[in-house]
Chain A
Amino acid sequence: QVQLVESGGGLVKPGGSLRLSCTVSGVTFSDYYMTWIRQAPGKGLEWVSYITGSGRTIYYADSVKGRFTISRDNAKNSLYLQMNSLRVEDTAVYFCARSLNYNNWFDPWGQGTLVTVSS
């Protein structure tokens, strides 16, 4: 049974930084492409970033490019999202999710971790 567990969310001031983690169990982590998707309070889903199994190919949404960095440590079965220069509009629940069959649809997802950017 695949399980994804996010951590690292919290309250941070505008301009601050935060690092999210997603620990994956139940599968060979390095085989899977992974993604981060966020959801602002009461809003819809917004894709954030994507990384292949080796980490060699990475994509970002324009809204976070240059501020966020996705990475992974396959030895630790972990996915990361380093978030710098945070803005109020980055406030959201951040979900990690696994790519299904190396395509760009995702299952399963973690439970999410809340990031609040506020002064």
Chain B
Amino acid sequence: KQEVTQIPAALSVPEGENLVLNCSFTDSAIYNLQWFRQDPGKGLTSLLLIQSSQREQTSGRLNASLDKSSGRSTLYIAASQPGDSATYLCAATGNQFYFGTGTSLTVIP
């Protein structure tokens, strides 16, 4: 069974810093890897989707990479802002969706 883990579980950084969130999965037979943002009490917001044939995707200050062979994906956030504070989830998609446990990010003004 696919297991998805995220490190660190929580992260606190001062505003303006660049940061990296990590996601690892045990089964490399995935269709795609998605990164989501979850704000308290709200549903998930899809940030980036990387198909299994792709290596990375970029959207604004966000860049996500995928290395299927090593079972890893990273989400890079450039020039962090207080509004980036949220929980970030990755999900590996095979025959179903497997979510990681999330990284709680706090950006301090």
Question: Is chain B a partner of chain A in the same complex?
Answer: no
